[in-house]
Structure 1
Amino acid sequence: MDKILLGSGNKKKLYELQNLLQKTSYNIITAKELDIILPEVIEDGNTYEENAAKKAIAFSQFSGLPSIADDSGLEVDALGGEPGIYSGRWSGEHGENQSRENNKKLLEQMQKVPQEKRTARFVCVIVMAINEKAVITVRGECPGTILSDFRGIGGFGYDPLFFVPEYNKTFAELGEIKNTISHRAQALKKFEKILAESCYEA
């Protein structure tokens, strides 16, 4: 494959994926580099896998290139796995205030949960599609706990509340270390391995 399109409408997520994928030998490009605007895809699947596949297939059919898309979310045990696939739109807010309102809702719902029951995980599913078929699907997870207050200014989304005990830091405090241990990094490691061992023709 000469080129693989990396598709995402989330600029911060796109930047993070680009940084992780630029270390590979594949020619990963974005819609901006192709001077195209990717179609809006309604994420109405019941799983990360369904949503990621729907996006990857739509982007591949639109661009004519093998395409990568992901779906990710935060699963909090005390909340029965919520917000899960609805992580990005959990609060109902969109735009600049989306992350702030999502985090506000998380803090409110976790207010009475004791520390030992604040376990959670970030989940990321990455799918590569060629035309109308998903040819690679991988999942990565990173365990942690939910804090009762913000720590750190890096990252995005729920990062300032997601604490990794092994490093005694939140995702928002980890800097480049996040790119080696995150759910997205774990999924990409699996993706790279499968892609390197496979042979696909666009």
Structure 2
Amino acid sequence: MTRVVLATRNHHKVEELREILADVCEELGLDIVGLDEFPDAPDVVEDGVTFAQNAALKARSAAEATGLPALADDSGLAVDVLGGAPGIFSARWSATKGPGADRANLELLLAQLGDVREEHRGAAFVCAAALVLPDGRSAVELGRFPGRMAHEARGTGGFGYDPIFIPDDQPDPGGQRTLAEYTPDEKNGRSHRYLAFRALAPRLRELLRP
């Protein structure tokens, strides 16, 4: 087996990616592990100005620290009428830190969109997935999950902006559910993270084939 490190210490993200790339891992003999197996790996300052730059920064740091091929992702919400904001600042849009940050970010964004008409509430969750090899070769792909912004929060699943995002790709035509009202299986099979890593799969086959 060839180990590939995912630049996260979140075990759930590692398990999710193993499922997303299950066919690729089986075909190429890959074992995806997290940075929790490498306690000396440094944290990365995400000072890129795009999702792709931040994903590549994290993957490159992980590859250098571990000597293994490394994967990373960076994602956020892009609202059309805000010119793509919050974008890379999605996690810190309200400047609130700690357990209440998600709710503060959501409420601030709802307030900013309060007078925006329905036809101008388009948005998308965007994810960049990056692969960096120890020899410097790299690849980055984007996943975009389109939808529109709700007028109020609904649902208890998911996290972040999920309760105010209504996906265009509803399992039931014309559905109005927010992403926080999706089941985990519905969300994971069509999310921006899923789309980004599936787009990266051909490059994994190209660069990591034994």
Give the TM-score taking structure 2 as reference length: 0.86
- Could you tell me whether the CA contact under 8 Å between 1:127 and 1:136 is conserved in 2? yes
The whole-number CA distance in structure 2 between the counterparts of 1:166 and 1:139 is 18
Deviation for aligned residue 1:200: 6.1
The whole-number CA distance in structure 2 between the counterparts of 1:195 and 1:107 is 39
Does residue 171 of the first structure (1) align with residue 179 of the second (2)?
yes
- What amino acid maps onto 2:2 in structure 1? D
The whole-number CA distance in structure 2 between the counterparts of 1:149 and 1:191 is 34
| Aligned counterpart, 1:27 | 31
| Aligned counterpart, 1:4 | 4
Does residue 151 of the first structure (1) align with residue 154 of the second (2)?
yes
Alpha carbons of structure 1 residues 170 and 191: separation in structure 2 relative to 1, 3 Å:
same
The whole-number CA distance in structure 2 between the counterparts of 1:134 and 1:155 is 34
- Could you tell me whether the CA contact under 8 Å between 1:53 and 1:134 is conserved in 2? no
- What amino acid maps onto 2:199 in structure 1? K
Alpha carbons of structure 1 residues 11 and 148: separation in structure 2 relative to 1, 3 Å:
farther
Does residue 195 of the first structure (1) align with residue 204 of the second (2)?
yes
Alpha carbons of structure 1 residues 96 and 22: separation in structure 2 relative to 1, 3 Å:
farther
The whole-number CA distance in structure 2 between the counterparts of 1:142 and 1:22 is 21
Alpha carbons of structure 1 residues 13 and 120: separation in structure 2 relative to 1, 3 Å:
farther
Q: Alignment length, in residue pairs? A: 200
Deviations 1:15-48 (A, max 9, x none): 543442345422111122x252542111111111
The whole-number CA distance in structure 2 between the counterparts of 1:57 and 1:81 is 26
Alpha carbons of structure 1 residues 185 and 193: separation in structure 2 relative to 1, 3 Å:
same
Over aligned residue pairs, what C-alpha RMSD do you find?
Answer: 2.1
| Aligned counterpart, 2:98 | 95
- Could you tell me whether the CA contact under 8 Å between 2:7 and 2:72 is conserved in 1? yes
Question: Greater shift after overlay, 115-124 or 165-174?
Answer: 165-174
Does residue 45 of the first structure (1) align with residue 45 of the second (2)?
no
Deviations 1:30-86 (A, max 9, x none): 122x25254211111111111111111111111121111111111101111110111
Question: Greater shift after overlay, 67-76 or 19-28?
Answer: 19-28
- What amino acid maps onto 2:32 in structure 1? I
Structure 1 unaligned blocks of 5 or more:
none
The whole-number CA distance in structure 2 between the counterparts of 1:148 and 1:11 is 33
- 1:191 is paired with a residue whose SS is helix
The percentage of counterpart residues that share the same residue type is: 38
